[in-house]
Every structure is written in C-alpha cells, then in structure tokens.
C-alpha cells in the first residue's frame, strides 16, 4: 500500500516541496549564469544611443519618407504580428500609442514591440486557459478539488494571461521611475553648475549624463538621449517633450516645463533649476519621513505574529518548566516522608 502523504489545501505537501526545491535550484543556476556572464551595461546604452542618433540623421538627411523608412531598422517578428492583428481587426491606434509610451517609460526604445504586448494580451489568456482546463477538467490532476475550486483555478489562469504582460511592463516602469527619481536632485544640481559655468543646454545635458552615468544609468541614458535630440531635432521643445514622454514622473515634467519656458522667454536657467532642485530634495525628505511614520503601523502585524510569541516562549518557558517540575515532584516527596 502506498503511503498517504499530508495535504495542504488539497495539494500534496511533498509535491509542493519538490516544486519549491526545483525553483530554488533554477534560481541558483540563473544566479551563477548571471555572475559568470557579466556584461558592461555601458555598451548596450552606447549602442542604443548611436541607433537613435542614426535615426535622427536619417530623418534629417533623407529626401523622401520611403528612403527614411529604408534607413530605419525594421523587425520582421513585429511586422508579422502587426499583419496578424490587422487581419483580425483588433489593432487600435489608441492601444498601440499607450503600449508604445509604456515601453518608452520602461526603457525599451523599439516602438514596434508595442504590437507584441497587444498580441500577448490576446493570446496568453487562451494558452493559459486551455492549459488550466486540460489540467483541471480533462486530466483531473486535482481530483479532491471541488467544482468551485476548479473554476477559480481556471479563472486565475485566464486573468494571469490577460494581465501578465501589463504587470511585467508596469514592474519595469516602476523600477526605472524609482531609479530616475533618486538621481534627479543631483542631476539638477549639476545642471545648475553647468548653466552657471556658461555651457549651453545640450552641452549641460551631455555633461550631466557623463558624470551621473555610472551612479544613475537610467537617468544618464535619458539625459544623453535628450542631448542628442536637442542637437538634431528642428524644434528643441520637441526634445524636452520627448523626455517627459519617456519618464513617468511628475518631477521630470516640471523640469521639462521649466526648460521650455526658459527657451521661450529667456528667463535665467540656473535660478529656476536651483528652485526645482530644492523642491525635489524637500519632497524626497518628506517621502522618507512618511515611510518612517508608517513603519510602526506596518510592523504591528509581524510583531504580533512572529516576535511576541517567541518572546513569550523565551520568558515564560523556563518558568513553566520549573512549575511543572515542582508539581510533578511534590507528591513523591510527601509520600517518602
């Protein structure tokens, strides 16, 4: 007779342990591979910036839109996906524009991959839903599950397939935005110094990107791209608006508005940037104070669930053992007398 394994929520505990062990082993292998194949991130950034420079040159020097399209690099995979979506009549311009902006905010420069997100949002629910239906209803992998649990598992698979691409991109956007937010006050201070030293705006952006490229690579990447666009675009306003388009941060939009007004009205750039830098530093300090104020409320539940029981065991455990020994040895001593 086969041994009966313990179950947790209808799932074999040994199966869960095996799956977790495989996941841990896979993570260890990925960590080892990442440590062995370390690459210089500057090479990828320089390559992307050079590609953007060549695209801007193509837009300026080409005589016709057809020649510009030949110079700009295309992607066969995304072209195939776009053709499929066009045949199905599910590709909307508003969805493509929103996906392109999210990709730009995540640091992905190729706008053609926006159709891949829309395609994944359409295909992933079908694939995951079909896999869940086969696993739950046809194979009957969890026979102890009720019909309601099976329906919840199927719905969770479909929902994960639909929201999976958006969650992945949103996670990339949030990480990149946080990294840019940390380095923005220092970048503004350097911009103030460059402006007071007499550098032009595009030269100041280039200098700041060079100085902060190692500490804040995301911010250096955006400033380098802005400097390139300032040099090649016919309207400098468009370069600043592109910076606000690529970064999902209100502080960057404030900087862009200040730069546009400075270019338009000729107001002093250094004084405006100095005020913005002071405001951003105060905002960062207020955000840190807010997190510190929320810490006692956040620590209440872990304190009650994990720390207080251990503390009670450590403090009351020896006393309880002593009381138990006293009560267990008391009658025996009385009987001997």
Instruction: Give residue 113's pLDDT band: very low, low, confident or very high (50, 70, 90).
Output: confident
Own/partner pairs, 286-295, CB within 8 angstroms, 24+ separation: none
Q: Which of 114, 129, 130 is nearest to 165 (CA)?
A: 114
Is 166 buried (19+), middle (13-18) or exposed (0-12) by CB count in 10 A? middle
- Residue of higher predicted confidence among 43 and 64: 43
Q: Are 169 and 248 in contact (CB under 8 A)?
A: no
Q: Which of 281, 279, 259, 282 is nearest to 270 (CA)?
A: 259
Average of per-residue pLDDT across 30-48: 69
Q: What is the pLDDT of residue 35?
A: 75
Query: Which of 66-70, 71-75, 89-93, 304-308 reaches the highest mean pLDDT?
Result: 304-308
Two structure tokens written together for 100: 């392109």
Please state, in angstroms and rounded to a whole number, the distance separating the CA atoms of residues 66 and 60: 13
Q: What is the pLDDT of residue 67?
A: 47
pTM for the model: 0.66
Instruction: Give residue 71's pLDDT band: very low, low, confident or very high (50, 70, 90).
Output: very low
């Amino acid at each position: 007779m086969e041994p009966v394994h313990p179950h947790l929520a209808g799932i074999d505990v040994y199966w869960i342990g095996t799956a977790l062990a495989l996941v841990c082993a896979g993570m260890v292998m990925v960590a080892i591979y990442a440590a062995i194949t370390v690459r210089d991130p500057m090479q990828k950034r320089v390559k992307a910036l050079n590609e953007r420079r060549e695209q801007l040159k193509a837009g300026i020097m080409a005589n016709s839109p057809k020649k510009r399209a030949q110079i700009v690099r295309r992607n066969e995979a995304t072209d195939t996906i776009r053709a499929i979506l066009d045949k199905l009549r599910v590709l909307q311009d508003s969805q493509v524009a929103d996906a392109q902006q999210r990709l730009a905010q995540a640091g992905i420069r190729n706008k053609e991959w926006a159709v891949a997100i829309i395609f994944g949002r359409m295909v992933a629910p079908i694939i995951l839903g079909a896999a869940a239906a086969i696993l739950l209803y046809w194979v009957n992998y969890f026979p102890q599950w009720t019909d309601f649990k099976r329906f919840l598992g199927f719905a969770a698979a479909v929902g994960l397939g639909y929201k999976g691409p958006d969650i992945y991109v949103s996670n990339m956007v949030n990480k990149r935005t946080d990294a840019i937010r940390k380095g923005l006050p220092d970048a503004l201070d350097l911009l103030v110094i460059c402006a007071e030293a007499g550098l032009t705006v595009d030269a100041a952006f280039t200098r700041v990107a060079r100085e902060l490229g190692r500490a804040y690579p995301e911010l250096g990447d955006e400033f380098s791209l802005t400097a390139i666009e300032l040099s090649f675009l016919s309207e400098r306003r468009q370069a600043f608006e592109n910076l606000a388009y690529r970064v999902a941060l209100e502080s960057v939009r404030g900087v862009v508005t200040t730069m546009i007004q400075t270019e338009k009205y000729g107001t002093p750039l250094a004084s405006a940037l100095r005020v913005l830098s002071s405001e951003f530093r105060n905002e960062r300090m207020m955000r840190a104070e807010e997190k510190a104020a929320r810490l006692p409320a956040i620590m209440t539940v872990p304190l009650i669930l994990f720390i207080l029981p251990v503390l009670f065991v450590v403090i009351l455990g020896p006393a309880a053992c002593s009381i138990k020994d006293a009560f267990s040895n008391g009658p025996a001593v009385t009987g001997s007398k």
